[in-house]
Every structure is written in C-alpha cells, then in structure tokens.
Chains A and B, each alone.
Chain A
C-alpha cells in the first residue's frame, strides 16, 4: 500500500477536508467563530468545482438547521457546522432533526456561551444540547476530527441508526491548531462511505408525511421508539469504529484507556484537554504514582457498559468537565452522568468532578498534577469531601489560577 499523505491541517481544515471527501449534496451554514474556517474552505471547494454540492449561505443557524432538515428529508447527504451562540440559536431545530430521524452531520467547534462575551473554548454549547437526541462525538486533535467526521456520516446514515451526529472539537485549541493529519485517499473514503440510501425520502411519486401531530395517545410510543434507537446505536457505532480501525490502521475506542494498568486513581477526560492530562499522568507515573486516564469519545449515547468496565477496580476517578451545569449537584454534566452510571455498581470508585478550562482559560500540566494529588489523597483517606471543585479559577474553593 502506498504511504498515505500527511497534510498540515488545523481542526477546522481537517473537518472541511473530510467533509469534501464525504461528498455532501447540501451544505447549509452560517459562519461563526471558531468554526468559520470550515465553512470558508467548503465554500471554496464548491466554488472551485472540487465539490459538487449545493452551498446554501443562510441568514441564521436556525435556518441552517432547517435547510439541512429539508435536504436530509429529501434524501440528500446534508452537513452544517456551528459553535456556541450559533448552536444555541439552532436549539429548536436540533430536536426536530433527531425526532425526524434524519441523518445530518454537524461539526461543532466547542465554545463558551455569553455572558460575559467570550469567544473562547469550553463545552457549554454542546453539553447544553446533550438532550436534543443527537449522537455526540468528542475529539482530541485534528487527526481525530478528520477520522470521526468521515465515520459520522456512516453512523448517521446506517439504517439501524438514522440519527443526526454532532462531531465536536475544541474551539481554537483544536480548530485553530495546525498538526499533521494522515488523510485517506478519495477511493478509501468512497469504499468506506457508500452513497446515502434514504429510507423514506420525500417523493411526489410516493408521498409520506413527516412531522405530523403526535397526540398524547401516540407521542410516548414515538418518543420511546427514538430512545430505543438512540441507545441501540452504540452497537452500530462500535461496529463502524472497528471497521474503520481495521481498514485504515487506527486504534480508536468508545472509551480510550491511557496507562491504566495497575492504576488506582484515574482522570476521566473529554476532548482536547485529554492531551495535556496525559502529560500529567506521564509525570506522575515517572514518580511511581498509580495514575491512569480514560478518554470518553462518545457522550451521547452514553457508553455506560464500557465505562463501568473501565472504571471497575479503580479507587478514585476525577471527572474533568469543560463547562458548569449551574445549580446541578455535581458541577458538570459529565460528572453527573458518570456518578449516575456507577451508582448501582458494587465496589464503585469515589468520583469527584473538576469543571475545568472555562471560557478558554489555559489549562496546564500543573493543574492536572494538582487534581491528581487531590485524587491520591481521596484514595488514601477512602473518603470524598466535596463532589466537585472548579479548576483554573482564582479564589476560595477553587483550584487556581
């Protein structure tokens, strides 16, 4: 086999390159920092004739999602990208897309929500949209953005799934960071991702009605059907992931373990922060501390089984959220979810949350060393004093600065 090309791409460029190879029929988007590069590149590809797609420059994100819904209902392969306030404006239509069971792929360059006005990275946007019925995949670097954008189309369009997929990467930290990305050939992508085969496309010859009234006598049945499909999609996602790994020499998982052999405490991370956390784990390991790391790839559907398996045997888990779920009992949504998943497990580890890196606060290896120290202390005392502590914040009760 010929060596694959390695291109210098930032996270946004990696997403755009992957989307181009996936040959969407319709791209409807509104530019918003920090995903703007994705849309810019795609409109270039269309204008230059490299991509035969309908590029709809809409007037808002609400319209972007509406256009994707219409296109996908027609049987088209539809794509959009957004971030932060843009995703918030789309909120209403996110539910419509998933409830219609339409395979739409959307890149989200994760970014904080106002106010105070902030354009920087955290996960307030997609974590707030976690209950919209979309599959959510989180990526650590440009390579993962590329690989999972391609898989997202396969997952979304699989007849056992038929759900929209959000492919998330951290704004700026990944979206604007240039790295080497090993790209597949167009032929390889074509063989992995066949053209979409729509199940009930809108067709005047064979009309169907989508989105009709669901009276209380029918609504629960239709919603439960959607819930079952969403939960079951995890098996298909795993199967597609395995095929991707085998075909292209990758080694991704739903929950990825890093130096967990013999670990007593572990960090549980999501997104790009995982990279910096791995450095801290390496430093601690060099000192002989029994520390490991688990990286969560998939947040929706939540990989309960895989997580329980990975976490069993640990004494303490530090869950690193990238947002605050205000007024919740556990600081962040990831921490809540992990704790809930472990509740019925015998010999479950202590779980402490660490909402981290809010609004673009740079999180360094030192921050993680402090977190790990805290985890080791909990392991020693076999007791947890606080459910969560914000990291990267000045003042009492926080791990700063």
Chain B
C-alpha cells in the first residue's frame, strides 16, 4: 500500500468514475436470487427495485450481477410473475 508520500494530495480521488473498477461485493446474505427465464416477462420491475443496481438489463432478458447482489430478496418479492426465487447459497450453484 502507498506511503504518505505516495497517497494522493490530501487523499483526493483524482480519477473520476472509478467506482466501476471497485468490486464491492465480497459479501451477500445466505441466499441469492435465481431467475427462471421461462416465467420472466421482461417487465423490469426487479431492475427498478433492486437497491444495489445488481439487475443487469440485457436484450430481452434480465441477469443478476452476483458480485454486487446483496441477497436482500426485494427482486423476488416484487416480481409479479414469480420468476425470481431466493435460493440458499448452500443449494449448489
């Protein structure tokens, strides 16, 4: 890690938009959402509701960014089609 001579001036962050390069998902609750693409109607409610922006919009379908997903279950609760199910981390995958 940087010494006091190497850290930026007064700890300023000098590169803008660097949040993208930060991986913040080193933890999740003991469960994670799994999408059943068959049931999904691409209504995008999960995409709106996810507090972590962990639902990724793709061409005609949604995907979950498991690195940032915190496993809160909001997406599963809000999905009108029952397309998201919370599964225990222990259940394989």
Contacts and interface: CB of A to CB of B under 8 A. Distances in A.
Interface of A: 99-101, 199-200, 206-210, 212, 214, 217-218, 220-222, 224-226, 228
B18 to A, nearest CB: 9
Interface string B14-28: 101100000000000
Contacts of A206: 16
B14 A225 contact: no
Contacts, number: 46
A75 to B, nearest CB: 14
B35 to A, nearest CB: 34
Contacts of A212: 11, 13
15 contacts: A100-B10, A200-B9, A200-B12, A206-B16, A212-B11, A212-B13, A217-B1, A218-B2, A221-B2, A222-B7, A222-B11, A224-B4, A225-B7, A225-B10, A226-B10
Nearest to A213: B11
A206 B31 CA distance: 41
Contacts of B17: 207
A208 B7 contact: no
B11 A208 contact: no
Nearest to A220: B4
Given A199-B9, A225-B5, A225-B7, 17 more contacts: A99-B10, A206-B16, A207-B17, A208-B16, A209-B12, A209-B13, A212-B11, A212-B13, A218-B1, A218-B7, A218-B11, A221-B3, A221-B4, A221-B6, A222-B11, A225-B4, A225-B10
A200 B4 CA distance: 19
Contacts of B11: 212, 214, 218, 222
A207 B7 contact: no
Contact of B4 (A100, A208, A217, A228): A228
B16 to A, nearest CB: 4
